[in-house]
Amino acid sequence: MRMTPEQRIELGKKRILSVLKRHGIATLKMLEQKIADAGPTPQRVDPHLLTHSRTQLQQEGRILTRIGLQNREWHYLPETDPAVVEQRFQELQELHARTEARSFTMRMGQTAEIAVIKALQQSKSNFIGHFTDLELHDDSTMYMKNDPDFVSGIHIRGGRLDYILFHPEAGPMGIEVKNIREWIYPDRSIVKALLAKCIQVNAVPVIVARRISYSTYSLLTDCGVVVHQFYNQLYPYADENLANLVRQKLSLGYFDVRVGNAPDARMQRFFTLNLPAVAKEARRKFDEHLETISAYAETRMSYKEFTARIRGRFEEESEESGWEPEAPDWE
């Protein structure tokens, strides 16, 4: 039987308490990994609902919070031995901070972008956007990347796209790659920014990210945006030791971390078969809803109104949608 959002929030509260009892202390990202990404499918709770679970537990005094490096919140149970909390806090906060250091996240972002360009090259696609020095040094330092900022003489304001692919029937398709832990939701600024950039150059938007919520897939697909989630967060080869540390069950528990910038079979299939197959229909939908998409991207329309116009009504998408990955039971 399908659960209501309220029932999912209650399930999220139970699972948060269970995880914290076993692990002592955790950030919201760690809880999301263990509850939203992993575990038996019926027991998963998407991050937007899990945030409500966490907030309610805080308000009820059933979990406590302390601030660590980079102002990160760490949660634990009031009844947990303070010595255990302190030990786990000291063990994990510096490791967690390493995963959020800008010098690392910038190189990590490029790792997924490199995987995508390799997949595009292998698919024999016609596209622009490239790295100039991939063969000249390793990934311990940043590569030089030329992101497309003009299409047919039109300047893209508000940032560049990662790649622009040219499909024989759909025309230009603007690709944005996000190698982040956060799930992509349709009301996030990165989605609006992509839509705004693509509208300027009449490009069909394409989002490629580690995890994309079902609501993003459902809503944006209806208006011509193409989405692909690759499930693994890709770490640079130079950070293999860090990857080994964060994957450990009693560490950060990021079991999905994979080292290297080679596209896997699923990503390759997306660019070789799936994207070309849906491109023409995506263009039709994008053109049909262009006025609504523009108003939303330019913040002239609220998310609720945008959803209502695309779907014909406002509704909250269910998690039990078939959009879940095959993830291991890992708590």
Looking at residue 330, its pLDDT comes to 31
Using alpha carbons, select from 170, 145, 171 the residue that is nearest to residue 160.
145
User: 47 near 183, Cβ under 8 Å?
Assistant: yes
Contacts of 156 (CB under 8 A, 6+ apart): 148, 149, 150, 197, 200, 201
Q: What 3-state DSSP class applies to 156? A: coil
CA dihedral 214→219→222→224, nearest 10 degrees, is: -90
Contacts of 258 (CB under 8 A, 6+ apart): 232, 233, 234, 235, 243, 264
Amino acid in position 111 = T
In the Cβ-directed half-sphere of 76, how many Cα atoms lie within 13 Å? 19
* Orientation of helix 275-288 relative to helix 290-297, angle to 10°: 80
Rg of the chain on CA atoms, in Å: 21
Q: How would you classify residue 254: left for phi > 0, otherwise alpha for psi between -120 and 50, otherwise beta?
A: beta
Would you kindly state where each structural domain of the chain is located, as residue ranges? 5-99, 102-311
Looking at residue 311, its pLDDT comes to 84
Q: What 3-state DSSP class applies to 258? A: strand
> What's the full length of the chain, in residues?
331
Q: What 3-state DSSP class applies to 188? A: coil
Q: Is 276 exposed, middle or buried (0-12, 13-18, 19+ CB in 10 A)?
A: middle
Tokens of 28: 């919201």
Which residue has 């699923």 as its token pair? 266
- What is the DSSP annotation of 283-303? HHHHHHTHHHHHHHHTTSS-H
User: 96 near 68, Cβ under 8 Å?
Assistant: yes
Q: 5-99: which CATH architecture?
A: Orthogonal Bundle (1.10)
Tokens of 222: 């209806």
Task: Walk along the chain (331 residues) and give the pLDDT tens digit of each residue.
Answer: 688 999 999 999 999 999 999 999 999 999 999 999 987 778 899 999 999 999 999 999 999 999 999 999 999 999 999 999 999 999 999 999 999 999 999 999 999 999 999 999 999 999 999 999 999 999 999 999 999 988 888 889 989 999 999 999 999 999 999 999 999 999 999 999 999 999 999 999 999 999 999 999 999 999 999 999 999 999 999 999 999 999 999 999 999 999 999 999 999 999 999 999 999 999 999 999 999 999 999 999 999 999 999 987 544 444 444 444 433 333 3
Is the whole model's pTM more than 0.85, yes or no? Answer: yes
Gap between the Cα atoms of 93 and 27, Å rounded: 9
User: 9 near 56, Cβ under 8 Å?
Assistant: yes
Gap between the Cα atoms of 68 and 74, Å rounded: 7
Amino acid in position 198 = C
Looking at residue 1, its pLDDT comes to 66
Q: φ, ψ for residue 188 (rounded to 5)?
A: -80, 155
Looking at residue 316, its pLDDT comes to 47
Looking at residue 321, its pLDDT comes to 43
Gap between the Cα atoms of 229 and 177, Å rounded: 10
CA dihedral 13→15→19→25, nearest 10 degrees, is: -20
Contacts of 243 (CB under 8 A, 6+ apart): 235, 257, 258, 259
